């Protein structure tokens, strides 16, 4: 019996030594793989060739860290590409009116211009300069919103009166463009919480967007939304696609791939950012050729 026990123990020790050797090689291989993963463009999960609960738990945690690191790396590359694209878009949007201004200023240097031509060229320069100012203001406002430096003051607002005042200011411009709005106001709208200046900016941006891109009919509705109130601006958009409707709140998104128009795609992005800062919401939908943007404010209560 003594010899049998010794043989059995020897076999157990040999098996254990073999297991430990395999485990040691597996951990060494996993360590080398881990070093490779630190500089690899994409992470791969580490594996152990033989079962061991403690080692497998450790590798599981290491794999979780590698996956989070890979997700962070992917997000960094996405943001870097997005920033690169935005810089190109900003450069193009600013360069377009500036190039036009410089071109017309050169034309104004010609001595044989008639008074009518000079007035026409000056009017173009003034219009492009105003466009440039609007672009710079939009870029600045968006940077303030995203940087958290645009301070909002919460107060009770009579949304119906505020919207009607903005409609009155813009009515003549809208009418000249064939977009005289139909206004629908639900009776008994509650007061809402919001920043007055930010709310004016939201309404102005929505009307400007309809003026720049919409077609008649233009319908402006004020209605209850939960305990608060919502503003809906609807206009015909016969050429808009579902993809464009889904992306209208994206920064710098414009349906014009050549970016040849005056829009930077920032107007509705600013609307959404302001509404979120005021505790409200912004959404858009396209139904039957009619495009609707809805913005909703929380109710101020009694």
Phi-psi category of 42—alpha, beta or left, where left has phi over 0 and alpha has psi -120 to 50?
Answer: beta
Pick from 17-26, 160-169, 179-188: least confident: 17-26
Whole-number pLDDT of residue 222? 96
Domain boundaries of the chain, sorted by first residue = 2-75, 89-147, 155-297
Is the pTM for the entire model greater than 0.95?
no
- Are 191 and 154 in contact by the 8 Å Cβ rule? The answer is no
Whole-number pLDDT of residue 276? 92
Q: How many CA atoms lie within 13 A of 39 on its CB side?
A: 3
Whole-number pLDDT of residue 257? 46
Work out the angle between the directed axes of helices 196-213 and 159-176 (0-180°, nearest 10): 30
Rounded to an integer, the average pLDDT of 113-132 is 87
Rounded to an integer, the average pLDDT of 254-261 is 47
Domain 89-147 fold is Helix Hairpins (1.10.287)
Question: What CA–CA distance (Å, rounded) separates 291 from 279?
Answer: 24
Rounded to an integer, the average pLDDT of 55-74 is 72
Three-state secondary-structure class, residue 105 = helix
Cis peptide bond prior to 217, omega within 30° of 0:
yes
Question: What CA–CA distance (Å, rounded) separates 96 from 129?
Answer: 11
Residue 43's contacts (CB-CB under 8 Å, 6 or more residues apart) are 37, 66, 67, 69, 70
Structure tokens at 194: 């919001």
Secondary-structure class of domain 155-297 per CATH: alpha beta
Longest Cα–Cα distance in the chain:
124
Q: Residue 238: which pLDDT band, with cuts at 50, 70 and 90?
A: confident
In 3-state terms the chain splits into helix, strand, coil percentages (rounded to 5) of 60, 15, 25
Position 271 pLDDT exceeds 50: yes
Position 120 pLDDT exceeds 70: yes
% of the chain with per-residue pLDDT over 70: 72
Question: What CA–CA distance (Å, rounded) separates 76 from 198?
Answer: 31
Torsion angle of the four alpha carbons 220, 221, 227, 228, in this order, in degrees rounded to the nearest 10: 20
Which helix or strand (DSSP H or E) is residue 253 part of? none
Mean pLDDT of the chain: 79
Position 57 pLDDT exceeds 80: no
CA–CA distance from 117 to each of 102, 107, 110, 121, 273 (Å)? Answer: 16, 10, 11, 6, 43
């Amino acid at each position: 019996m003594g010899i049998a026990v010794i043989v059995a123990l020897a076999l157990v020790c040999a098996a254990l030594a073999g297991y430990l050797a395999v485990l040691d090689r597996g951990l060494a291989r996993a360590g080398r793989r881990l070093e490779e993963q630190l500089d690899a463009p994409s992470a791969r999960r580490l594996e152990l060739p033989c079962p061991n609960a403690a080692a497998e738990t450790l590798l599981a945690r290491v794999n979780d860290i590698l996956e989070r690191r890979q997700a962070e790396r992917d997000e960094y590359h996405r943001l870097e590409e997005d920033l690169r694209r935005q810089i190109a878009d900003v450069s193009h949007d600013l360069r377009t009116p500036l190039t036009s201004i410089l071109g017309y200023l050169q034309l104004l240097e010609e001595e044989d211009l008639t008074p009518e031509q000079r007035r026409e060229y000056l009017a173009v320069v003034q219009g492009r300069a105003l466009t440039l100012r609007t672009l710079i203001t939009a870029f600045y406002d968006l940077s303030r919103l995203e940087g958290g430096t645009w301070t909002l003051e919460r107060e009770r607002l009579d949304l119906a009166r505020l919207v009607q005042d903005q409609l009155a200011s813009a009515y003549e411009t809208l009418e000249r463009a064939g977009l005289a709005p139909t206004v629908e106001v639900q009776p008994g709208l509650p007061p809402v919480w919001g920043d007055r200046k930010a709310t004016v900016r939201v309404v102005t941006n929505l009307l400007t967007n309809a003026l720049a891109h919409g077609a008649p009919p233009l319908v402006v509705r004020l209605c209850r939304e939960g305990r608060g109130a919502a503003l809906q601006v609807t206009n015909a958009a016969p050429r808009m696609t579902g993809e464009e409707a889904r992306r209208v709140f994206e920064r710098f998104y414009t349906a014009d791939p050549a970016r040849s128009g005056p829009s930077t795609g920032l107007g509705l992005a600013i609307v959404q950012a302001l509404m979120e800062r005021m505790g409200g919401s912004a959404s858009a939908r396209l139904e039957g050729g009619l495009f609707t943007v809805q913005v909703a404010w929380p109710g101020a209560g009694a």
